[in-house]
Amino acid sequence: MMRAAAAVVLTVMVAAVGCESGTSGNAGDEDLLSAQGWDFTMEHVRDEQLRWRLVGERFEVTTTDETYVQQPRVVIYENGHATVSITGTEGTVDRDTQDFIITGDVKAVSPNGVLYTAKLLWKDADGKLIAPGAAEIHRGSSVIQGTEMIARPDLKQIHLNDVRFRVRPEDETIDAYPIDLHDE
């Protein structure tokens, strides 16, 4: 079922765009099939709910279960609601696992902040965003920097290594913790 929605969209595009086939030159090798096109949309549905929608300016579909996309724009959904919008210069979607990688000036915008990184991975089975290199998260005028980020798509909980941050009081609200004076 997971591959069905993506496969239907891809099948329609392949039929509309056309196919290129070629051989590797070795006797007995199968023909390689690829499709290329522009103005591309791909969706992933899991448990009858839209999980993510990807739109790109140019795409290439290969027989290796990967789709390459230029200028990808991805929206990830949770419980039927858009959670984060991600843009970059290039992307790759694994049509088997529904994971994707967005690279090049990546920007992810959620109601809880904006993430900037060079490379962002989506692990669909885990529901996690991963930035293996440097990452910077902006919340209002507060900035958190670090490496090896792992986060939920809503950017509420973020795990980082090598953390540096600048928190502005107007961006963070917290109830005071009660102080236990140990009076008995």
Quick: pLDDT tens for 125-156: 999 999 999 999 998 888 999 999 999 999 99
Q: What is the C-alpha to C-alpha distance for residues 148 and 28, in angstroms, rounded to an integer?
A: 44
pLDDT at 113 over 70: yes
pLDDT at 31 over 60: no
DSSP conformational letter for 26: S
Contact 49, 38 (CB under 8 A): no
CATH number at residue 143: 2.60.450.10
How many domains in the chain?
Answer: 1
CA angle, 163 then 100 then 116, to 5°: 35
State which residues form the domain around 160. Answer: 2-18+34-171
Contact 52, 74 (CB under 8 A): yes
- Per-residue model confidence (pLDDT) at position 63: 72
141 lies in some domain: yes
Q: What is the C-alpha to C-alpha distance for residues 161 and 32, in angstroms, rounded to an integer?
A: 42
25 lies in some domain: no
Ranges 21-25, 46-50, 65-69, 134-138, most confident: 134-138
pLDDT digits (tens, 9 = 90+) for 57-103: 888 887 788 888 999 999 999 988 999 999 999 999 988 899 999 99
Q: What is the C-alpha to C-alpha distance for residues 48 and 163, in angstroms, rounded to an integer?
A: 38
135 lies in some domain: yes
Mean pLDDT to the nearest integer, 158-170: 86
Q: What is the C-alpha to C-alpha distance for residues 61 and 66, in angstroms, rounded to an integer?
A: 6
Question: Cβ neighbours of residue 184 under 8 Å, at least 6 residues apart?
Answer: none
183 lies in some domain: no
62 lies in some domain: yes
